[in-house]
Structure formats: structure tokens, C-alpha cells
Amino acid sequence: MSILTVTLVDDDAPMREEFARMVQADAGLRLVEAVGSCAEARRSFAFAQPDVALIDLGLPDGDGTELIAELARRARHTSILVVTVFGDEAHVVRALQAGAHGYLLKDTPTAEFGRAIRSVAEGASPLSPQVARYLLRRFARPTAQETPELSEPLTPREQDVLKAISQGFSVPEAARRLQVAPSTVAAHIKSIYSKLSVHSRVQAVNLARAKGLI
């Protein structure tokens, strides 16, 4: 059985130690080094490029995404698995675009990390369920090329209303933020739906994002 080499990059010392123990307890894995910063990681990768690198995104001296991009350019045989507390879409997309091959949240059961390390080394892309849902929603959104042109441009106030509803505000909440009557917001929403040729808030927001309106 071939042994996979693993480097850990995580500034959370207890979590780093837990990951290290997990790797060291697995006969099929060998820990190269466990470090807690971008600077330490760069020094480590300069001397040894592991089969799998587990990288956190929130590091004390830099963005883990930058480290991922550097490693992806320099060590093409190294599989990169993000292990982080950040489960929002922005972090997920940035990390995957930088070159990460998988993305797990830190609340993933420890036993699953060993399986994820093996699967990412074999060419799979392990994802936490929450992350997979984000990506499914993202790719389900229409692109600007797939959508019809607006019947009329949105007015500045309609764009304000659209931005408010995209942030999850209800009609009364949006009205308070924009300092107008709820009936005025409702009228703007009706106009927005008509101009975008949609019938729901979700459709309006997705189409507006695809067209770069918000």
C-alpha cells in the first residue's frame, strides 16, 4: 500500500494537533509537517511538496487562498484540501478558483478527513454538504448570455429595492431602509418583475446577479 504524505496548515493549535494525531494514527498517511502560518507553509513547501495539503483559509499572516494559488502553480501533483470554518459562498468559490481540489468545514467528523485525504489524492473532490449546496445553487443560476434583455432599464430606485430584497429584507424592512412606504416598495417590486420577466424574488435576484445588476 502506497503511503500518502500530508502537510497541515492551520493556525488553530488544538485543531492542528488533532489533525496531526489523526494523520499519524493512519498507517496509510505520513505527516510531513504541521504549521500555523503562510510563512511557515511556504518554507515547508519549498523543501517538500506533499501528496495532499490541508489548508485553512483564515491564517494570521495572510489569506489561505493566496497560499492555495501559489501551491497550485508550483506543485501540480499536490492535491489541496481546504479545511476551514468559512462555509459561505464567497470563500468557497475563491478557494476553488485558486486551485483547491476539495473543501471541508471543520465540523466534519474527524474520521471523514482520512477518507477525504485519500479521495482527493485519487482525483475526487470531497465537499461538505453545505458547500455542495452552494455550488449547486451557483451553477443553477442563469448566465447573462442565457437571459433575455430587459424590456426597460431599472430605475435607480428600483435597483435600490432589488438590492434590498437580494439581501433578504422583507417589504416593510426594505421600506424602512429606503425611507418610503411599503406600498411604494411593493410597486417597485412589481415593476422589477415585469422588466425582468420573472415571477418571484428568487428569479429576480438570480437574473439580476447574472446580468450584473446587483
DSSP structure class, residue 85: S
Instruction: Give tens-digit pLDDT for 86-120.
Output: 888 778 888 988 999 999 998 888 778 888 998 88
- Whether domain 4-139 has CATH 3.40.190.10: no
Report the C-alpha gap between 169 and 173 in whole angstroms.
6
pLDDT of residue 1 exceeding 70, the answer is no
- Phi, psi at residue 53, to the nearest 5°? -115, 125
Residue 33 in contact with residue 48, Cβ under 8 Å? yes
Q: What is the reported pLDDT for 125?
A: 83
Q: What is the reported pLDDT for 144?
A: 47
81: CB partners within 8 A, 6+ apart: 52, 53, 54, 55, 100, 101, 102, 103, 104, 116, 117, 120, 126
Instruction: Give tens-digit pLDDT for 66-87.
Output: 999 999 988 888 999 999 998 8
Domain ranges of the chain: 4-139, 144-210
The enclosing H or E element of 55 equals strand 52-55
Architecture of domain 144-210: Orthogonal Bundle (1.10)
- Higher per-residue confidence, 170 vs 64: 64
pTM (whole model) above 0.75: no
The full DSSP string for 16-44 is HHHHHHHHHT-TTEEEEEEE-SHHHHHHH
